[in-house]
Amino acid sequence: MNNGVSDLKINETINELAATLNSSSKTIAAKGIKHAGSLWRKEDGSEDEFKLFCIKYFVSDSSEKAEVFNKACKNFESLFGHFSQLSLELRENIDLDRGPLHYIDEMFGSYSVGAHFSDDFFSNKIAFIIALNFPYYSLTEKNELGKNWSAKDWAYARLGDFFINRIPAELQQKATAVSSKAGLYVSEYNIYMGKITTDNDKQLFPIDMVLLSHWNLRDELKSNYGNKEDGIEKQKTIYEIMKRIIAQEIPQKVINCGEYFWNPFSNKTFKDGREVSLTAEADTRYQHILNNFHAMKAIDSYTPEMNTYIMRTFAGEMEIPQIEVENIFDEYLRAPLLKKLAELIKQRLGRDLLAYDIWYDGFKARSSISEEKLNAITQKLYPNTAAYEKDMAKTLEKLGFAQENAQNISSFIAVDAARGSGHAWGAQMRTAKAHLRTRIGAAGMSYKGYNIATHEFGHNVEQTISLHQTPYYTLNGVPNTAFTEALAFLFQKRDLEILGINNSDKQVDNFKILDICWHTFEMMGVSMVDMGIWKWMYENPQATPTQLKTQTINIAKNIWNKYFSAIYGSKDEPILAIYSHMINSPLYLSNYSFGSLIEFQLGQYLKGKDFGKEVERIWSLGRLTPRHWMQKAVGQDLLSKPLLEAAEEALKNI
Give the binding site for Zn ion (CB under 5 A). Answer: 488
* Comparison of 315 and 488: residue with beta carbon closer to Zn ion: 488
Residue nearest to Zn ion (CB): 488
* Comparison of 488 and 597: residue with beta carbon closer to Zn ion: 488
* Comparison of 176 and 421: residue with beta carbon closer to Zn ion: 421
> How many whole angstroms separate alpha carbon 237 and alpha carbon 247?
16
* Comparison of 374 and 488: residue with beta carbon closer to Zn ion: 488
* Comparison of 488 and 526: residue with beta carbon closer to Zn ion: 488
How near is the Cβ of 382 to Zn ion at its closest, in Å? 20
> How many whole angstroms separate alpha carbon 372 and alpha carbon 375?
5
* Comparison of 37 and 595: residue with beta carbon closer to Zn ion: 595
Taking residue 568's Cβ as centre, other Cβ atoms within 10 Å add up to: 19
CB-based contact 587:289 (threshold 8 Å):
no
CB-based contact 319:139 (threshold 8 Å):
yes
How near is the Cβ of 487 to Zn ion at its closest, in Å? 9
How near is the Cβ of 489 to Zn ion at its closest, in Å? 8
How near is the Cβ of 320 to Zn ion at its closest, in Å? 20
How near is the Cβ of 157 to Zn ion at its closest, in Å? 28
> How many whole angstroms separate alpha carbon 29 and alpha carbon 23?
10
Letter for the amino acid at 376? A
CB-based contact 388:453 (threshold 8 Å):
yes
Q: What is the DSSP string of 329-392?
A: HHHHHT-THHHHHHHHHHHHHTS---GGGGG--------SS-HHHHHHHHHHH-SSHHHHHHHH
* Comparison of 291 and 460: residue with beta carbon closer to Zn ion: 460
How near is the Cβ of 162 to Zn ion at its closest, in Å? 26
Q: What is the DSSP string of 107-156?
A: HHHT--TTTTHHHHHHHTSHHHHHHHHS----HHHHHHHGGG--HHHHHH
Contacts of 272 (CB under 8 A, 6+ apart): none
How near is the Cβ of 485 to Zn ion at its closest, in Å? 5
How near is the Cβ of 361 to Zn ion at its closest, in Å? 21
| Closest among 255, 356, 362, 332 to 578, alpha carbons compared | 356
CB-based contact 238:265 (threshold 8 Å):
no
Strands 434-438 and 413-417: parallel
How near is the Cβ of 83 to Zn ion at its closest, in Å? 22
* Comparison of 216 and 481: residue with beta carbon closer to Zn ion: 481
Burial of 113 (0-12, 13-18, 19+ CB in 10 A): middle
* Comparison of 482 and 499: residue with beta carbon closer to Zn ion: 482
* Comparison of 488 and 647: residue with beta carbon closer to Zn ion: 488
How near is the Cβ of 435 to Zn ion at its closest, in Å? 14
> How many whole angstroms separate alpha carbon 327 and alpha carbon 234?
37
End-to-end CA distance of the chain: 63
Q: CA torsion angle for 371, 373, 377, 380 (degrees, to 10)?
A: 100
